[in-house]
């Protein structure tokens, strides 16, 4: 029916968009909006809620646009995007803008954060690199891929922005994993990391980072200082109970005990107001979205498409895991938003673009075949 | 061939990729299950803990302190009340600037204080304490000036619009309208200190700044305080009040009516002030109610309410007369001859003496086989005396003999049944137990054996024996009751609100002293004779409108080696204490009195007994000594006495008597 109403070009555009994934994402964004309404007290001041709506619409448009881009095209952009990203990161370290002790921004009329570009550019670059090679990769290719990961990672770590550098590195590692990195090497890496982590703790961290880990291991030790965030968010989640305190009835969040409640700690607001039941629904929805992304990856048009779609889906999971793990007190405090729920334009737009890319990676059926 | 290889590679790559994706999908499932398990842990297993923490966070109890009960005497005269005190408080979050343009400037606290200081005088101390506290609290009101005068209140009220965020609050503050009168009984309240915090119920005292420190204020703290109420309010992370969830009104403390008859009390204090130091305790023997409890010198309890100044405190503490020391309950004195009626009763009860038993008094007593003599106060001796005469003339030899025959163990046992040697249990703090000596006690205290001579001294209330004025009055009331023992108590009745009837406190009976009626009659007749011509207190008993029973006593402070005692010739602090116990009317006792005058100008009969008489007159006949119109009357009556006894008194007595009425 709809085929007869809409013009052919528009139909073609929508055909490339994965309807299932879009529906699930829309539901997630809706849940995010509901939570944000409560977390920002939108009945008093709806500005932030409106803005988040605008972010979503921008993200949605970009998603539709990126979903049109075929893997062959995107592949060609990879190296340029990556190269430009690394260049900008170097510029940041040389002439960047400092805020709160970290030099992460470039001023070009507005402040931009080049690390955001690398969230997409790094997996694209590694996927591009492996798509040229026979898989599973040879050892030398793995080493080169790792160098491609470490260069931006170290540049970002230098800013310093440990959280983002780990996230970006992880998205690169996911590509290497999906490319078929030997299980032995993976095992070896796990062992190496578990040895390196304590060394890193003692020699490679800033005091504030070390403190976050101390607090994670013993949160009650510092309930007024660094531990305050985690302590308050655990109280918020825990006091929510099975069914939650009800929408708009979270005491912890509404009485300002919970810091960053509309951004990084929104999961605590959600948990307090909707309880364990809400969490089950939310986790189910996230799982569905991630699995759908992975399914699309399997259906990818070529190696680049598969690797990129798979790693972006896994990265999406990783954001989710790091955020919920942090808010529920399992992981140290790292500034990662809850994907598509936390307030914040950059994050929403980047994620929607990533889903657009994932959708575009799907193997194309010819549109005319359907018309027959 | 190459193409096939490529196809195979393509398929292998897809398979490899599929495996990787499936492994990833499973791991992701596990990870998200892990997050959910974590949520389950927090939201189900540890839910109670976090729910409680959350409640604690956002609910705050704002206590409403109860109004403290008032204290009255038995006739409803106010002894301790509460009045409104005005306090200026500043809430930092709400202060504004002088231009009153609606903008608040939290940083300008100093400016506001400066402007306020021009209107209402603020001391440096006020400002310093305020500045310390104000930094900590943004939304809480912090007091800056207490005790505003009416004039200052009016001044501030007019200028209030200039001071947004500065509030005039009312608080209830304790005051003692009679100042120095009965201060040892009433006691005082003071700021709650560390020591108080250790034993009080903190919930009940949130919002209360003062607590009873001594006297009835302390001993009946529980009744006076009442129960605190509260507002349960929801607060945000900054402590700002959002809404009231629940509230409970406070229950005011009970009003207390003391047994004290304030006019009798004033009479007793006035009498003691003439002599300097001492204590008078008057009890109602039927109920045990304390009718008067005077300890002189006294102090003004109002000084203590808002923290006594260092100078006042030093003055009170270094005063050699120790005005803070409650002599009536904490002072211990050798009871001297005042215990002879009780000793006499013990002789009769034990059967060692009979009413008719006679003892020959040659002027001294000597233990068989020993050289040392125990002198009777009358060196010439009283000759052959029976019990009644021994009491009337206070013959020491009779009681030396009695105690020696009875032995210390039995003797102390009987005296303990008259309340000596332990606190009477009156409802006042820090009552001393006095000392009823025994061989065990001496062994422990002095590592020394008990000698028969020790018993002999104890027989006339000397030796190691120490008693409080309260114990003397208590023993007198046991005599008045013919053995029935009622525990003394200061609290007569309580009422829970001004519109309710006061509820009487029931007397508490202790183990009675059992003896047959004839024996009581003999001893009581002796006590009555003390107050009559031929008795040691004949002067005090003269012209009484009712029958009085009593016994005088004199306690040595300074041992005189052989020389004769003359109060006028030795330093005041070394003079003997004068004592008296008694009750009246003898045929229907309504008041029992114990008097101790420290370093008195005369003997028990000449100094202490007339005081007891005046206290009895005050209570029984309402002849008070509190103000000018009453006083001359009493004095005239006193002046009547000397001629009546002049003949019977030793020459020195008249002189002492005159001293009293100087």
Q: Do A252 and B18 touch (CB under 8 A)?
A: no
pLDDT of residue B591: 96
Please say whether the beta carbons of B208 and B222 come within 8 A: no
- Taking residues B639-657, report their average pLDDT: 34
pLDDT of residue A371: 42
Residues in A touching B37 (Cβ below 8 Å): none
Q: Which of B660, B656, B653 is nearest to B637 (CA)?
A: B660
Q: Does residue A174 form part of some domain? A: yes
pLDDT of residue B65: 83
Burial class, B363, CB count within 10 angstroms (exposed 0-12 / middle 13-18 / buried 19+):
middle
- Determine the distance in angstroms separating the CA of B39 from the nearest CA of chain A, rounded to an integer: 7
- Same domain as A242, residue A151: no
pLDDT of residue B184: 94
Element (H, E) at B233: strand B229-235
Contact pairs from chain A to chain B, CB under 8 Å: 132
Mapped onto helix, strand or coil, the DSSP state of residue B392 is: helix
- Same domain as A343, residue A257: yes
- Same domain as A332, residue A198: no
Q: How big, in percent rounded to 5, are the helix, strand and coil portions of chain B?
A: 45, 20, 35
- How many Cβ atoms from other residues are within 10 Å of residue A67's Cβ? 24
Element (H, E) at A30: helix A19-39
pLDDT tens string B315-334: 888 888 888 899 999 999 99
Residues in B touching A314 (Cβ below 8 Å): 24, 28
The question of whether B337 is a catalytic residue gets the answer: yes
Residue among B29, B43, B242 minimizing CB distance to A240:
B43
Residues in B touching A297 (Cβ below 8 Å): 17, 21
Maximum average pLDDT range among B209-213, B231-235, B653-657 = B209-213
Residue among B31, B34, B236 minimizing CB distance to A255:
B236
**Average pLDDT of chain A to the nearest whole number:** 87
- What band does A223 get if pLDDT is binned at 50, 70 and 90? low
pLDDT tens string A317-338: 999 999 999 899 888 777 789 9
Q: Is the pLDDT of residue A148 over 90?
A: yes
**Average pLDDT of chain B to the nearest whole number:** 84
The answer for residues whose C-beta is within 8 angstroms of residue A76's C-beta and 6 or more apart is none
Last residue of a domain, one of A158, A178, A205: A205
Lowest-pLDDT range, A164-168, B593-597, B622-626?
B622-626
Element (H, E) at B63: strand B59-64
Q: Does residue A7 form part of some domain? A: yes
Please say whether the beta carbons of B29 and A227 come within 8 A: no
Q: Is the pLDDT of residue B648 over 50?
A: no
- Determine the distance in angstroms separating the CA of B35 from the nearest CA of chain A, rounded to an integer: 7
- Determine the distance in angstroms separating the CA of B44 from the nearest CA of chain A, rounded to an integer: 6
Q: Do A177 and B9 touch (CB under 8 A)?
A: no
pLDDT of residue B643: 34
Higher pLDDT, B208 or B68: B68
- Determine the distance in angstroms separating the CA of A330 from the nearest CA of chain B, rounded to an integer: 8
pLDDT of residue B628: 37
Residue for token pair 């309010």: B233
Mapped onto helix, strand or coil, the DSSP state of residue B143 is: strand
Q: Do B25 and A135 touch (CB under 8 A)?
A: no
For residue B489, the Cα-to-chain-centroid distance in whole angstroms is 12
pLDDT of residue B649: 36
pLDDT tens string B171-220: 888 999 998 999 999 999 988 888 888 888 777 887 788 899 999 999 99
- Same domain as A285, residue A371: yes
The answer regarding whether domain B62-258 maps to CATH 3.90.1310.10 reads yes
- Taking residues B622-643, report their average pLDDT: 45
Please say whether the beta carbons of A124 and A77 come within 8 A: yes
Lowest-pLDDT range, A140-154, A222-236, B39-53, B369-383?
A222-236
- Number of domains chain A is built from: 2
Q: Is the pLDDT of residue B98 over 80?
A: no
- What band does B259 get if pLDDT is binned at 50, 70 and 90? very high
Cis peptide before B467 (omega within 30 of 0): no
Q: Do A255 and B43 touch (CB under 8 A)?
A: no
Q: Give Rg (Cα) of chain A.
A: 21
Q: Does residue A218 form part of some domain? A: no
Please say whether the beta carbons of B400 and B451 come within 8 A: no
Last residue of a domain, one of A143, A170, A205: A205
- Write down the catalytic residue from B183, B337, B394, B493: B337
Q: Which of B469, B465, B557 is nearest to B278 (CA)?
A: B469
Residues in B touching A177 (Cβ below 8 Å): 20, 24
- Same domain as A138, residue A115: yes
Q: Does residue A211 form part of some domain? A: no
pLDDT of residue B640: 33
Q: Is the pLDDT of residue B499 over 60?
A: yes
Q: Do B53 and A239 touch (CB under 8 A)?
A: yes
Mapped onto helix, strand or coil, the DSSP state of residue B21 is: helix
Q: Does residue A212 form part of some domain? A: no
pLDDT of residue B209: 80
Q: Does residue A45 form part of some domain? A: yes
- Same domain as A158, residue A142: yes
- Determine the distance in angstroms separating the CA of B52 from the nearest CA of chain A, rounded to an integer: 8
- Taking residues A41-46, report their average pLDDT: 84
Q: Do A314 and B13 touch (CB under 8 A)?
A: no
Mutate to test the interface with A, among B24, B34, B236 (most CBs of A within 10 A): B24
Extents of the domains making up chain B = 62-258, 262-306+327-660
Give the range of the structural domain holding residue A323, as residue numbers without chain letter: 1-68+223-372
- Percentage of chain B beyond pLDDT 70 is 88
Q: Do B43 and A257 touch (CB under 8 A)?
A: no
Maximum average pLDDT range among A193-202, B353-362, B560-569 = B353-362
- Same domain as A240, residue A124: no
pLDDT tens string A109-124: 777 788 888 999 999 9
* Cα separation, B433 vs B442, whole angstroms: 16
Residue of B nearest to A176 (CA): B20
- Same domain as A357, residue A228: yes
* Cα separation, B600 vs B574, whole angstroms: 10
Last residue of a domain, one of A176, A205, A234: A205
- Same domain as A95, residue A19: no
pLDDT of residue B476: 96
pLDDT of residue B122: 86
- Percentage of chain B beyond pLDDT 90 is 49
Q: Does residue A311 form part of some domain? A: yes
Residue among A257, A325, A329 minimizing CB distance to B57:
A257
Q: Quickly list H helices, B376-484.
A: 387-392, 396-406, 408-417, 439-446, 452-458, 469-480
Q: Do A255 and B58 touch (CB under 8 A)?
A: yes
- Same domain as A231, residue A312: yes
Q: Does residue A17 form part of some domain? A: yes
Lowest-pLDDT range, A42-46, B504-508, B595-599?
A42-46
Q: Do A241 and B13 touch (CB under 8 A)?
A: no
Residues in A touching B35 (Cβ below 8 Å): 283, 321, 324-325, 328, 330
- What band does B239 get if pLDDT is binned at 50, 70 and 90? low
- Same domain as A319, residue A184: no
- Same domain as A271, residue A313: yes
pLDDT of residue B257: 95
Residue among B28, B35, B236 minimizing CB distance to A328:
B35
Q: Is the pLDDT of residue B432 over 70?
A: yes
CATH class for the region spanning B262-306+327-660: alpha beta
Residue for token pair 């020394």: B448
């Amino acid at each position: 029916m709809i085929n007869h109403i809409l013009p052919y070009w528009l139909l073609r555009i929508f055909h490339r968009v994965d309807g299932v994934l879009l529906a699930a994402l829309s539901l997630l964004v809706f849940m995010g909006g509901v939570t944000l309404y409560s977390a920002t007290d939108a009945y008093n001041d709806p500005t932030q809620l409106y803005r988040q709506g605008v972010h979503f619409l921008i993200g949605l448009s970009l998603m539709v646009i990126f979903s049109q881009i075929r893997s062959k095209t995107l592949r060609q952009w990879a190296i340029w995007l990556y190269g430009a990203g690394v260049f900008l990161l170097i510029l940041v370290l040389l002439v960047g803008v400092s805020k709160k002790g970290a030099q992460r921004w470039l001023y070009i009329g507005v402040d931009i954060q080049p690390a955001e570009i690398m969230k997409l550019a790094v997996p694209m670059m590694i996927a591009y690199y492996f798509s040229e090679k026979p898989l599973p990769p040879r050892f030398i290719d793995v080493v080169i891929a790792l160098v491609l990961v470490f260069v931006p990672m170290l540049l970002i770590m230098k800013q310093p922005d440990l959280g983002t550098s780990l996230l970006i590195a992880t998205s690169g590692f996911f590509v290497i994993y999906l490319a078929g990195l030997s299980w032995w090497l993976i095992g070896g890496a796990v062992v190496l990391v578990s040895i390196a982590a304590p060394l890193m703790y003692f020699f490679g961290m800033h005091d504030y980072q070390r403190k976050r880990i101390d607090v994670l291991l013993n949160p009650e030790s510092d309930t007024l200082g660094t531990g305050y965030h985690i302590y308050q968010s655990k109280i918020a989640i825990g006091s929510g109970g099975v069914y939650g305190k009800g929408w708009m009835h979270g005491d912890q969040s509404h009485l300002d005990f919970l810091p960053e409640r509309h951004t990084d700690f929104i999961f605590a607001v959600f948990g307090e107001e909707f309880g364990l039941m809400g969490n089950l629904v939310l986790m189910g929805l996230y799982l569905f979205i991630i699995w759908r992304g992975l399914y699309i990856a399997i259906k990818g048009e070529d190696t680049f498409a598969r690797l990129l779609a798979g790693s972006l889906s896994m990265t999406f999971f990783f954001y989710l895991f790091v955020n919920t793990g942090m808010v529920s007190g399992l992981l140290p405090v790292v500034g990662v938003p809850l994907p598509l729920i936390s307030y914040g334009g950059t994050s929403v737009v980047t994620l929607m673009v990533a889903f657009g890319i994932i959708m575009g990676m799907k193997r194309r059926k010819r549109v005319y075949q359907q018309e027959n | 061939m190459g193409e096939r290889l490529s196809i195979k590679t393509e398929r292998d790559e897809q398979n490899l990729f599929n495996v990787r994706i499936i492994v990833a999908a499973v791991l992701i499932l596990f990870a998200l299950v892990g997050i959910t398990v974590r949520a389950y842990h927090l939201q189900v297993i540890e839910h109670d803990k976090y729910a409680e923490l959350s409640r604690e966070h956002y609910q705050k109890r704002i206590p409403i302190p109860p109004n403290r009960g008032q204290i009255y005497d038995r006739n409803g005269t106010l002894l301790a009340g509460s009045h409104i005190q005005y306090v200026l408080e500043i809430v930092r979050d709400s202060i504004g600037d002088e231009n009153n343009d609606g903008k608040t400037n939290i940083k300008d606290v100093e400016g506001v204080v400066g402007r306020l200081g021009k209107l209402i005088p603020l001391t440096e101390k006020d400002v310093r304490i305020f500045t310390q506290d104000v930094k900590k609290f943004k939304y809480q009101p912090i007091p800056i000036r207490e005790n505003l005068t009416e004039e200052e209140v009016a001044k501030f009220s007019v200028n209030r619009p200039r001071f947004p965020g500065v509030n005039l609050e009312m608080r209830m503050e304790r005051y003692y309208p009679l100042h120095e009168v009965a201060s040892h009984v009433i006691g005082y309240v003071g700021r709650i200190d560390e020591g108080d915090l250790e034993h009080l119920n903190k919930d009940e005292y949130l919002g209360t700044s003062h607590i009873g420190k001594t006297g009835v204020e302390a001993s009946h703290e529980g009744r006076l305080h009442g129960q605190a109420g509260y507002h349960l309010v929801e607060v945000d992370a900054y402590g700002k009040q959002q809404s009231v969830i629940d509230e409970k009104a406070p229950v005011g403390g009970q009003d207390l009516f003391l047994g004290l008859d304030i006019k009798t009390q004033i009479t007793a204090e006035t009498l003691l002030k003439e002599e300097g130091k001492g204590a008078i305790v008057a009890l109602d023997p039927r109920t045990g109610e304390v009718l008067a409890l005077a300890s002189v010198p006294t102090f003004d309890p109002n000084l203590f309410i808002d923290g006594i100044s260092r100078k006042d405190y030093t003055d009170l503490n270094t005063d050699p007369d120790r005005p803070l020391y409650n002599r009536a309950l904490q002072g211990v004195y050798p009871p001297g001859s005042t215990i002879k009626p009780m000793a006499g009763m013990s002789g009769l009860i034990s059967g060692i003496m009979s009413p008719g038993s006679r003892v020959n008094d040659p002027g001294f007593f000597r233990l068989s086989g020993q050289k040392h003599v125990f002198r009777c106060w009358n060196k010439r001796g009283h000759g052959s005396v029976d019990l009644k005469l021994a009491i009337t003339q206070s013959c020491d030899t009779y009681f030396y003999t009695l105690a020696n025959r009875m032995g210390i163990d039995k003797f102390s046992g009987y005296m303990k049944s008259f309340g000596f040697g332990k606190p009477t249990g009156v409802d006042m703090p820090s009552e001393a137990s006095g000392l009823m000596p025994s061989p065990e006690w001496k062994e422990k205290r002095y590592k020394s054996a008990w000698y028969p001579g020790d018993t002999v001294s104890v027989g006339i209330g000397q030796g190691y024996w120490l008693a409080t004025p309260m114990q003397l009055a208590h023993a007198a009331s046991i005599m008045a009751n013919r053995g029935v023992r009622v525990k003394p108590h200061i609290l007569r009745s309580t009422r829970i609100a001004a519109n309710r009837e006061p509820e009487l406190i029931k007397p508490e009976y202790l183990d009675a002293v059992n003896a047959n009626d004839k024996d009581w009659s003999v001893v009581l007749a002796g006590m009555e004779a003390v107050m009559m011509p031929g008795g040691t207190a004949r002067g005090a008993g003269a012209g009484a409108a009712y029958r009085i029973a009593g016994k005088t006593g004199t306690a040595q402070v300074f041992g005189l080696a052989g020389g004769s005692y003359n109060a006028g010739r030795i330093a005041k602090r070394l003079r003997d204490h004068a004592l008296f116990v008694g009750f009246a009317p003898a045929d229907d006792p309504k008041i029992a009195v114990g008097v101790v005058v420290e370093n008195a100008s005369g003997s028990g009969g000449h100094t202490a007994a007339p005081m007891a008489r005046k206290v009895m007159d005050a209570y029984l006949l309402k002849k008070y000594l509190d103000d000018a119109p009453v006083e001359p009357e009493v004095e005239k009556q006193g002046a009547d006495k000397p001629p009546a006894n002049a003949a019977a008194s030793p020459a020195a007595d008249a002189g002492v008597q005159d001293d009293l009425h100087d």
